[in-house]
């Protein structure tokens, strides 16, 4: 028997509710959401917060902004300093890409963050999401900003599904574009508000539907919160993985502040073959520099 069609909530009411909730309950105190935050500060926050909780991002962001308040400041520093300052934010290649992006900003954009999505996409390490987010949040250009939180909110409220598809597809981008308010300022507010709703209330596990400002409009909630029946959703393993070993190798090099002999690294995991594979991959990624006499350091 075919399921009943999903009844879509009126978008203006959805916009009003979500934006009103954000004004009262959103994390507007975050430094990169302050009106006087520079475009560089917004750019930095967007790169740092990819797959990283904001509670871990904020102290690192403040330290980076203290040390390198402009792209030129970061570009003038050795790339190894960026890797060291990245700490345990995860996916450390982002630190190198930030350094490379800052260098391009100095070389091609007068030391400023470019404002158009096309120019942003041309920067090292910048994808569609980051380009759209920086355009919107730093320059007020209402691009379609779609992250994991936005996808989940739209899947539940408009499609009646517990989760979106495992990977972003064109249909989701169309849905996000069609869901945005037409007014420029309202659209920019909606972008950050719907993202925040997904981060704080419409979370992946244990959604707080009783606290949701659009619970009565949400197609998934109204339908009784049907279980997810899409493709399998696989969690990311950590212990014993190459990611864990790479992180341990980088930790030792960060804390050493000098070249480390191989003997100081090869016990980073029980399996020496895995350690050497991970060390080789870090060298290939430009995160580690090999020296003579089997020594290693962060890139100078």
The answer to whether residues 224 and 112 belong to one domain is yes
pLDDT, residue 233, reads 62
Residues 271 and 170 in one domain: no
Residue 290 sits in the same domain as residue 216: no
pLDDT at 52: 87
Same domain for 55 and 112, yes or no, is yes
Q: What is the pLDDT along the chain (300 residues), one digit of tens a residue?
A: 344 445 567 899 999 999 999 999 999 889 999 999 999 999 999 999 988 888 899 999 999 999 999 999 999 999 999 999 998 888 899 999 999 999 999 999 999 999 999 999 999 999 999 999 999 999 999 999 999 999 999 999 999 999 998 889 999 999 999 999 999 999 999 999 999 999 999 999 999 999 999 999 999 999 999 988 877 666 556 688 888 898 899 899 988 888 999 999 999 988 989 898 988 888 988 999 999 999 999 998
Say if residue 111 is in the same domain as residue 40.
Answer: yes
Q: How far apart are CA 108 and CA 111, in angstroms?
A: 8
119 closest CA partner among 143, 95, 83, 86: 143
Domain that holds residue 255: 242-297
Specify the long-range contacts of residues 284-287, CB closer than 8 Å, at least 24 apart.
Answer: 285/93, 285/96, 286/79, 286/96, 287/83, 287/92, 287/93, 287/96, 287/250
Do residues 160 and 291 share a domain?
no
Under DSSP, the state recorded for 252 is H
Residues 223, 265, single domain; the answer is no
Q: Please indicate, yes or no, whether residues 228 and 258 belong to a single structural domain of this protein.
A: no
Question: Considering 187, 202, 235, which residue would you say is the last residue of a domain?
Answer: 235
The question of whether 118 is a catalytic residue gets the answer: no
Total count of domains within the chain: 2
Q: Are residues 220 and 287 in the same domain?
A: no
Q: Is residue 146 located within the same domain as residue 250?
A: no
Which of 235, 253, 269 corresponds to the end of one domain? 235
> How would DSSP label each residue in 15-82?
HHHHHHHHHHHS-TTSGGGSTT--HHHHHHHHHHTTTS-HHHHHHHHHHHHHH-SSHHHHHTS-HHHH
Q: Are residues 89 and 161 in the same domain?
A: yes
Given 185, 212, 235, the domain boundary residue is 235
CATH number of the domain where residue 36 is located: 1.10.340.30
DSSP designation for 7: -
**Residues 111 and 250 reside in one and the same domain:** no
Catalytic position from the list 16, 24, 34, 46: 46
């Amino acid at each position: 028997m075919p399921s009943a069609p999903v009844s879509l909530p009126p978008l203006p009411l959805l916009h009003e509710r979500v934006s009103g909730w954000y004004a009262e309950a959103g994390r507007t105190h975050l430094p990169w959401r302050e009106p006087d935050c520079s475009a560089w500060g917004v750019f930095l926050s967007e790169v740092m917060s990819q797959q990283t909780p904001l509670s871990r991002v904020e102290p690192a962001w403040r330290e980076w902004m203290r040390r390198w308040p402009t792209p030129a400041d970061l570009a003038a520093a050795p790339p190894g300093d960026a890797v060291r300052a990245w700490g345990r934010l995860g996916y450390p290649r982002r630190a190198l890409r930030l350094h490379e992006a800052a260098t391009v900003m100095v070389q091609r954009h007068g030391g400023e963050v470019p404002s158009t999505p096309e120019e942003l996409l041309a920067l090292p390490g910048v994808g569609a999401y980051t380009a759209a987010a920086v355009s919107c949040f730093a320059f007020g250009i209402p691009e379609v900003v779609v992250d994991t939180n936005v996808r989940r909110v739209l899947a539940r409220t408009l499609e009646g599904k517990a989760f979106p598809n495992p990977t972003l597809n064109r249909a989701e981008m169309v849905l996000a574009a069609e869901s945005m308010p037409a007014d420029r300022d309202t659209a920019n507010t909606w972008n950050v508000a719907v993202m925040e709703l997904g981060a704080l209330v419409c979370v992946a596990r244990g959604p707080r539907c009783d606290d949701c400002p659009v619970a009565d409009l949400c197609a998934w909630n109204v339908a009784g919160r049907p279980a997810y029946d899409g493709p399998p959703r696989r969690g990311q393993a950590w212990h014993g993985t190459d990611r864990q070993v790479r992180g341990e190798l980088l930790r030792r090099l960060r804390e050493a502040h000098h070249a480390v002999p191989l003997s100081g690294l090869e016990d980073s995991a029980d399996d020496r073959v895995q350690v050497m594979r991970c060390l080789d991959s870090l060298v290939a990624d430009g995160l580690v520099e090999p020296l003579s006499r089997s020594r290693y350091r962060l890139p100078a």
